[in-house]
Amino acid sequence: MGKITEFRQNVIDGLKGLIPQLDVDWYDGLFDEHDIADWVLKTPCARVAVMNVPTEHHSTGELNACLRVVCVLIDENKFASLDGDGRAWDMVEQVAIWANQNQFGNKDAGPADKVKFQRLSQPVLRREGVTVGVVEWVSDLMIGTNKVLGRDFVWFNGKMVTQTPSTTVTARGNVHTQRYGDTEELDVTPEVP
């Protein structure tokens, strides 16, 4: 599994933990009323898409993939007319707060930012009792090989050297006292971590 699909799966797993009753899956980033009709059969549900926006080269030799993540949340009226609206807004709010500054368990991902959310208003869906909310954010994900690790660090037997031998320094100095012109010898051993 590549880093991008792993990142998307982390978002999906996180949503399942955030709102346990959600049926969560991925989609390709485009949807229409036919997709929503299929998704309504599993409400409440969420569909997650990860799309790439312009990638930036990084000084480490890696690519900084600025991922545009879109989460579509769908619910429907259950007990009264338009009662799905409140539940949809609640889910949108929970997901927006959860996504803000989240790295989704990935050490190579930056904190999510530029969180946007909205409720989609469409008369046909409203008449059918379907509510749709969208939460969108940007997450930076470093992909590729970090060439700095091989170029700027010391390696031994395939492992990065992280600890170097320590040494002890002993110094001898002569201190002259002004009073009698005598010399005292001091043993100075500085502490070296």
For residues 28 and 49, the answer to whether their CB atoms sit within 8 Å is yes
End-to-end CA distance of the chain: 43
Of 3.10.20.880, 3.30.2000.10, 1.10.10.10, 3.40.50.1400, which CATH number belongs to 3-148? Answer: 3.30.2000.10
CA dist 17 and 80 (Å) reads 28
Read off the amino acid at residue 175: V
Burial class (CB in 10 A: 0-12, 13-18, 19+), 112: buried
Name the pairing type of β-strands 130-143 and 113-120: antiparallel
Cα–Cα separations (whole angstroms), residue 24 to 1, 19, 91: 19, 10, 13
Strand partners, 142: 64
Distances, alpha carbon 103 to alpha carbons 23, 59, 108, 146, 188, in Å:
22, 21, 8, 19, 50
Residue 160, classified by CB atoms within 10 Å of its CB into exposed (0-12), middle (13-18) or buried (19+), is exposed
pLDDT (tens place) for every residue of the chain, 193 residues total: 788 899 999 999 999 999 999 999 999 888 887 888 888 888 889 999 998 777 778 777 788 889 999 999 988 877 666 677 788 889 999 999 999 999 998 888 999 999 999 988 777 777 777 888 999 999 999 888 777 766 667 778 878 787 777 777 777 766 665 665 555 555 556 666 5
